[in-house]
């Protein structure tokens, strides 16, 4: 791990490059918003409505069940193990009756497939879940703003919220591009990213505040503020890189070996960690710096 040493005594001039990243993030945000509006989000049946059935087989494994369901031509199908190895939860948005699906599965798999549970998620319930997901995300963002405001100052709070919104736009843009199913698991991943991003921002903000305390009550020039902010970011850079890479190792393992059920969750975590690490430097700290210098004028 000797290569980590390059960050141990880092002295990179991040803040004087902030306008370049303002442009990059603004361009990407506008582009990804356009993609989301044009292609839309591929909401799963949790939000759009559909059917859920729990079945058990005698011999067939999950891959055989997936192959059999493809032959039935159902829409938006997802399959996952439930409890025991030969029990599965099947979700689909088609109108086909649960008994019909189980009968066709039995015919294709050439064995008795038992139906243990059947549920239908109506469009009204799906719309309510979607509304609750929006409200939950907004509440989380507001609480984060209040926490950062009280813990540090309003400048870092505003910078953190801007960063979270930009990160979400970028991640949702990728969801739209690849048309990955957006479900309740995705909401959990988004809230996880919010927490991860805030943690990263708090570490950097806390170090910057430590350095600013030395000049408490003194009006600092912009050049001096840039120096202090750069020093705070560089002094936590090693920790930021190691933490992000360690987390990414686990997420990549989920992405590669977690299977279709965990793919969307691990996908959003992977990009969320990368975007969050970058934004904690180039959006949170940079925004706080510019807001602080404007307030001092």
**For position 38, which CATH number holds?**
1.20.1640.10
Q: Tally the domains of the chain.
A: 2
Q: Are 145 and 246 contained in the same domain?
A: yes
pLDDT above 90 (res 105): no
Q: Are 260 and 139 contained in the same domain?
A: yes
C-alpha span between 118 and 66 (Å, rounded): 18
DSSP string, 212-225: HHTTTT----HHHH
Q: Are 132 and 107 contained in the same domain?
A: no
Give residue 141's domain range: 2-43+125-296
Q: Are 36 and 60 contained in the same domain?
A: no
Residue 180: what are its φ and ψ, rounded to 5°?
-75, 140
Predicted local distance difference test score (pLDDT) of residue 23: 92
Residues 7-43: tens digit of each pLDDT: 566 778 888 888 898 999 999 999 999 999 998 887 7
Residues 231-267: tens digit of each pLDDT: 888 888 888 888 888 888 988 998 888 776 678 888 8
Strand partners, 50: 121
Q: Are 108 and 196 contained in the same domain?
A: no
Predicted local distance difference test score (pLDDT) of residue 206: 84
Domain limit, last residue, from 69, 98, 121: 121
pLDDT above 70 (res 3): no
Predicted local distance difference test score (pLDDT) of residue 129: 67
Tokens for 183, please give them. 């479900």
Q: Are 255 and 172 contained in the same domain?
A: yes
Q: Are 98 and 140 contained in the same domain?
A: no
The answer to whether residues 56 and 114 touch, using CB atoms and an 8 Å cutoff, is yes
Residues 42-63: tens digit of each pLDDT: 777 777 777 888 888 888 888 8
Q: Are 60 and 176 contained in the same domain?
A: no
The answer to whether residues 202 and 144 touch, using CB atoms and an 8 Å cutoff, is no
Domain limit, last residue, from 121, 136, 165: 121
pLDDT above 70 (res 124): no
Residue 89: what are its φ and ψ, rounded to 5°?
-105, 125
Domain limit, last residue, from 106, 121, 136: 121
More confident of the two residues 201 and 275:
275
DSSP string, 30-69: HHHHHHHHHH---B-HHHH-EEEEEEE-SS--HHHHHHHH
Predicted local distance difference test score (pLDDT) of residue 214: 81
Lowest mean pLDDT segment, chosen from 142-146, 155-159, 285-289: 142-146
Q: Are 161 and 27 contained in the same domain?
A: yes
Q: Are 116 and 259 contained in the same domain?
A: no
Q: Are 137 and 277 contained in the same domain?
A: yes
């Amino acid at each position: 791990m000797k290569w980590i040493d390059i960050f141990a005594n880092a002295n990179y001039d991040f803040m004087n490059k902030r306008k370049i990243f303002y442009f990059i993030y603004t361009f990407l945000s506008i582009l990804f918003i356009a993609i989301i509006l044009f292609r839309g989000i591929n909401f799963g049946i949790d939000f759009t409505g559909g059917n859920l059935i729990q079945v058990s087989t005698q011999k067939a494994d999950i891959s055989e069940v997936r192959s059999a369901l493809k032959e039935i031509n159902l829409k938006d199908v997802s399959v996952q193990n439930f409890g025991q190895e030969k029990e599965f939860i099947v979700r689909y948005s088609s109108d086909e009756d649960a008994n019909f699906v189980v009968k066709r599965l039995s015919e294709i798999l050439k064995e008795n497939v038992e139906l243990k549970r059947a549920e239908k998620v109506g469009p009204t319930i799906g719309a309510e879940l979607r509304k609750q997901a929006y409200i939950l995300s907004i509440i989380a963002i507001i609480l984060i703003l209040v926490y950062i405001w009280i813990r540090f100052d309003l400048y870092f709070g505003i910078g953190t919220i801007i960063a979270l919104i930009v990160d979400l736009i970028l991640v949702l843009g990728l969801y739209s591009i690849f048309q990955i199913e957006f479900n309740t698991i995705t909401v959990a991943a988004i809230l996880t990213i919010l927490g991860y991003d805030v943690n990263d921002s708090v570490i950097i903000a806390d170090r910057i505040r430590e350095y600013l305390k030395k000049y408490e009550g003194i009006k600092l020039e912009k050049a001096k503020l840039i120096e202090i902010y750069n020093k705070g970011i560089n002094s936590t850079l090693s920790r930021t890189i190691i933490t992000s890479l360690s987390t990414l190792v686990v997420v990549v393992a989920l992405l590669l070996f977690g299977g279709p059920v965990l793919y969307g969750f691990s996908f959003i975590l992977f990009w969320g960690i990368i975007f969050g690490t970058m934004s904690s430097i180039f959006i949170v700290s940079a925004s706080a710096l510019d807001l602080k210098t404007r307030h001092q004028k």
